[in-house]
Structure 1
Amino acid sequence: MSLPLIEEGARKSSVLWISLDRPRLAWHVWHDGAVYVVTGGGEQHLPGLTEASTVRVTLRSKDNGGELVSFDARVEVVDQAREPEAVAALAKERLNAPDGAETTRRWAADSHVVRLTPIPVP
C-alpha cells in the first residue's frame, strides 16, 4: 500500500482500527510519516499494543464506513520527552480531555504514546 494513500486516509479520519486481541477502535493523529495513539492511564484501552512489534491497522471511509486501506505497522513506544511535537499534535486531537492543559503531563506519568509506522510493501 502506498504511503500517500495511508497518509491521506489517516489525515481524513480521526479513528482507526488496530488488530490486537480483537480489532480495537482508537483515535489517533498522523504526524511525521506515522500514526500516533495514546493508551493506558485512563486513555483508550489498547491491550497488548505496547508489547507488540507489529500490528495491522485499518482506516475506514468517513462517508460509508467501508475499508479505505489496511496496512501493517511497526510499533514503537515513544519517549515523550524526545518527541514533544508528536505528543502535542496528539494532545490537540484529544477531545474532552478531563485535565485540559495538563493532559501531556498526565500522559508522561500514566500513559504510553505509541508510534505506528507503516511497513512498506515490497
Structure 2
Amino acid sequence: MEIAQAIDAALRKAAAVWVSVPRRRGRLVWALWRDGAVWVAVGGDQEVPGMVDGAEVVVTLRSPTTHSHLLDTPAVARLVEPDEETVAALRAAHLNGPAEWTEVYRLDLV
C-alpha cells in the first residue's frame, strides 16, 4: 500500500498522528489528510514544540485498531492560512471539544 493511501485510510478511522521535530519528543496531534498532505492545527491544547515553517518533521502513523506502528514518513511543515472548508474539517477532526489553535501547518510528505 502506498504511503498516502495508508495515511488516508488510518486518518479516516482515527484523526491523529504522531509528529516529531528533530531532537524533540514526538507529540500525538489531531490531524487531517487533505490534498495529499497531513494538516495539523497547533496552539491551545495541542502543541508541537519546535515546529516552524520549513521544519523537517517525521509523521508516525499507528493502527487505529491495534495501535501498532504502521509507518514513519518524513515531511516538511509549511505554515499556512487555511480556507474555510479546511478550517471546518480541522474542527471536525478535533474530537475532544472546541479547537483553539493559533497556527495551521500543512505537512508535505517528502
Instruction: Bin the TM-score by the shorter chain.
Output: 0.7 to 0.9
2:14 alignment partner in structure 1: 13
Matched, 1:91 2:91: yes
- Per-residue deviation, 1:33: 1.3
Matched, 1:113 2:74: no
Decide which structure has the larger Cα Rg and report it. 1
2:42 alignment partner in structure 1: 39
- Per-residue deviation, 1:13: 2.3
Unaligned 5+ segments in structure 2 are: none
Cα separation, 2, equivalents of 1:10 and 1:117: 15
TM-score (norm 1): 0.75
Unaligned 5+ segments in structure 1 are: 98-102
Cα separation, 2, equivalents of 1:32 and 1:26: 19
Give me the CA root mean square deviation: 1.9
- Per-residue deviation, 1:28: 1.0
Identity rate, percent: 37
Which 4+ residue blocks in structure 1 deviate beyond 4 angstroms?
none
Q: Deviations over 1:88-114 (max 9, x none)?
A: 2101222311xxxxx6xx64xxx0011
- Per-residue deviation, 1:84: 2.2
Larger strand fraction of residues: 2
Q: Deviations over 1:59-110 (max 9, x none)?
A: 1012221111211112101113xx222122101222311xxxxx6xx64xxx
TM-score (norm 2): 0.82
Larger helix fraction of residues: 1
